[in-house]
Amino acid sequence: MVHGLRPFARGQVVLSRPEAREVLRFLFPLDRLPDEKELTEADLAFAQGLLVEAVDEERRLRVEEPPEELPAAERVAAGWGPAAPVLAAALKRFDPAWQSRPAIEDVEARISEQARAGVSTRFRALWLARLLGAPLI
């Protein structure tokens, strides 16, 4: 699996192809995405790892800088609106042990623009290489 992301065995991947594509669209909004049918098992695991990483990043940011101190523009990520129902449903099926940070009580599942951009920046080069035919390593 991709260095820096939690690895998932075949039976641990809970994202469907439409959900995985939505995660990829949310994190890489300017990039071309393959059709759902073209997504591989590695792509599904990659998307799931990215979503876990984004949730962990959001929790890390909330501990360091509570949400009430964030500017309003940074509280909701670009593209989260349409993706929210799909991603929230996927997050409910995740094993809590997959996250490196404990859940924050009384906070809805959301990913700030700051968390989205951080994960996108760290893993976009791998995704672009994948789009050009390289394997996800």
Does the residue 2 lie in any domain?
no
Q: How many residues does the chain have?
A: 137
Cα distances from 77 to residues 4, 6, 12, 126, in angstroms, run: 22, 23, 27, 22
Does the residue 11 lie in any domain?
no
CB atoms within 10 A of CB 86: 19
The pLDDT tens digits of the residues spanning 8-46 come to 888 889 899 999 999 999 999 999 999 999 999 999 999
Q: Residue 137 has what pLDDT?
A: 74
Q: Which of 74-78, 122-126, 130-134 has the lowest mean pLDDT?
A: 74-78
The pLDDT tens digits of the residues spanning 54-98 come to 888 888 887 766 555 544 444 445 455 666 677 677 777 776 666
Does the residue 137 lie in any domain?
no
CA angle 31, 36, 37 (to 5 degrees): 130
Number of domains in the chain: 1
Contact 44, 98 (CB under 8 A): no
Does the residue 99 lie in any domain?
yes
CB atoms within 10 A of CB 5: 20
Q: Which amino acid, residue 39?
A: L
Does the residue 10 lie in any domain?
no
Q: Confidence class of residue 99 from pLDDT cuts 50, 70 and 90?
A: low
Measured CA to CA, the distance from residue 17 to residue 33 in angstroms comes to: 12
Burial class for 54, CB neighbours closer than 10 Å (0-12, 13-18, 19+): buried
Does the residue 116 lie in any domain?
yes
Q: Confidence class of residue 118 from pLDDT cuts 50, 70 and 90?
A: very high
Domain that holds residue 87: 17-132
Reported pTM: 0.76
Q: Is 88 helix (H, G, I), strand (E, B) or coil?
A: helix
Q: Strands, DSSP E only, in 15-123?
A: none
Does the residue 3 lie in any domain?
no
Does the residue 89 lie in any domain?
yes
- Two tokens, residue 101: 């940070």
